[in-house]
Amino acid sequence: MLRIRCPWCGERDEIEFRYRGDASRARPAADAAPAAFHAYVYERDNPCGWHWEWWLHIGGCRRLLRIERHTLTHEIRVVTQAAQIPDGAGR
Protein backbone atom coordinates (compact mmCIF):
# COMPACT_ATOMS: atom_id res chain seq x y z
CA MET A 1 0.00 0.00 0.00
CA LEU A 2 1.48 3.34 -1.06
CA ARG A 3 1.06 6.32 1.21
CA ILE A 4 1.09 9.54 -0.80
CA ARG A 5 1.64 12.89 0.89
CA CYS A 6 -0.75 15.15 -1.03
CA PRO A 7 0.36 18.82 -0.73
CA TRP A 8 -3.27 19.82 -0.01
CA CYS A 9 -4.71 16.88 1.93
CA GLY A 10 -1.74 15.35 3.74
CA GLU A 11 -0.73 11.71 3.74
CA ARG A 12 -3.38 9.43 2.23
CA ASP A 13 -3.70 5.80 1.06
CA GLU A 14 -3.11 4.99 -2.59
CA ILE A 15 -6.73 3.90 -3.04
CA GLU A 16 -7.72 7.60 -2.99
CA PHE A 17 -5.56 8.21 -6.05
CA ARG A 18 -5.70 7.20 -9.69
CA TYR A 19 -2.52 6.65 -11.68
CA ARG A 20 -2.32 8.75 -14.84
CA GLY A 21 0.96 7.58 -16.33
CA ASP A 22 4.46 8.74 -17.18
CA ALA A 23 4.96 12.46 -16.48
CA SER A 24 8.35 12.76 -18.12
CA ARG A 25 7.12 13.14 -21.69
CA ALA A 26 6.92 16.71 -22.99
CA ARG A 27 4.34 17.49 -25.67
CA PRO A 28 6.04 18.61 -28.90
CA ALA A 29 5.19 21.88 -30.62
CA ALA A 30 2.09 21.67 -32.82
CA ASP A 31 4.20 21.85 -35.98
CA ALA A 32 6.70 19.17 -34.87
CA ALA A 33 7.42 16.20 -37.12
CA PRO A 34 5.27 13.02 -36.79
CA ALA A 35 8.27 11.21 -35.27
CA ALA A 36 8.24 13.64 -32.33
CA PHE A 37 4.55 12.98 -31.73
CA HIS A 38 5.11 9.23 -32.03
CA ALA A 39 7.76 9.47 -29.32
CA TYR A 40 5.45 11.57 -27.14
CA VAL A 41 2.37 9.37 -27.49
CA TYR A 42 3.91 5.89 -27.62
CA GLU A 43 7.53 5.64 -26.49
CA ARG A 44 8.31 5.24 -22.79
CA ASP A 45 11.66 5.00 -21.03
CA ASN A 46 10.05 2.59 -18.56
CA PRO A 47 12.96 2.77 -16.13
CA CYS A 48 13.69 0.32 -13.35
CA GLY A 49 14.36 3.12 -10.88
CA TRP A 50 13.14 6.68 -10.30
CA HIS A 51 10.14 7.60 -12.40
CA TRP A 52 8.14 10.84 -12.76
CA GLU A 53 4.43 10.14 -12.95
CA TRP A 54 0.99 11.73 -12.78
CA TRP A 55 -1.41 10.79 -9.98
CA LEU A 56 -4.92 12.22 -9.71
CA HIS A 57 -6.22 12.60 -6.15
CA ILE A 58 -9.68 11.57 -7.26
CA GLY A 59 -10.90 10.60 -3.78
CA GLY A 60 -9.60 13.79 -2.17
CA CYS A 61 -8.88 17.27 -3.51
CA ARG A 62 -9.15 16.05 -7.14
CA ARG A 63 -5.90 17.81 -8.02
CA LEU A 64 -3.43 16.30 -10.43
CA LEU A 65 -0.10 15.61 -8.73
CA ARG A 66 3.34 15.01 -10.14
CA ILE A 67 5.22 12.38 -8.17
CA GLU A 68 8.70 10.92 -8.33
CA ARG A 69 8.52 7.27 -7.32
CA HIS A 70 10.94 4.34 -7.51
CA THR A 71 9.57 1.52 -9.70
CA LEU A 72 11.31 -1.24 -7.78
CA THR A 73 11.07 -0.14 -4.13
CA HIS A 74 7.92 2.02 -4.62
CA GLU A 75 9.54 4.72 -2.46
CA ILE A 76 8.17 8.21 -3.14
CA ARG A 77 10.61 11.10 -2.79
CA VAL A 78 8.83 14.07 -4.40
CA VAL A 79 5.15 15.05 -4.57
CA THR A 80 4.30 18.37 -6.19
CA GLN A 81 1.39 20.07 -7.85
CA ALA A 82 1.15 19.28 -11.53
CA ALA A 83 2.28 22.60 -12.93
CA GLN A 84 5.33 22.85 -10.70
CA ILE A 85 8.17 21.09 -12.46
CA PRO A 86 11.19 20.54 -10.21
CA ASP A 87 14.64 21.43 -11.53
CA GLY A 88 16.14 18.67 -13.62
CA ALA A 89 12.99 16.57 -13.65
CA GLY A 90 11.82 14.75 -16.72
CA ARG A 91 13.08 16.04 -20.02
- Which positions touch other proteins (CB under 8 A)? 1-2, 13-15, 19, 21-22, 34-35, 38-39, 41-48, 51, 53, 69, 71-74
Q: Is 8 or 19 the residue whose CB approaches other proteins more closely?
A: 19
Closest separation in Å from C-beta 60 to other proteins: 16
Mark 7-40 as b/e (b = at least 16 C-beta within 10 Å).
eeeeebeeebbeeeeebbbeebeeeeeeeeeeee
CB 6 within 8 A of CB 56: no
Closest separation in Å from C-beta 77 to other proteins: 15
Quote the CA–CA distance of 61 and 49 in Å, as a whole number. Answer: 28
Closest separation in Å from C-beta 84 to other proteins: 21
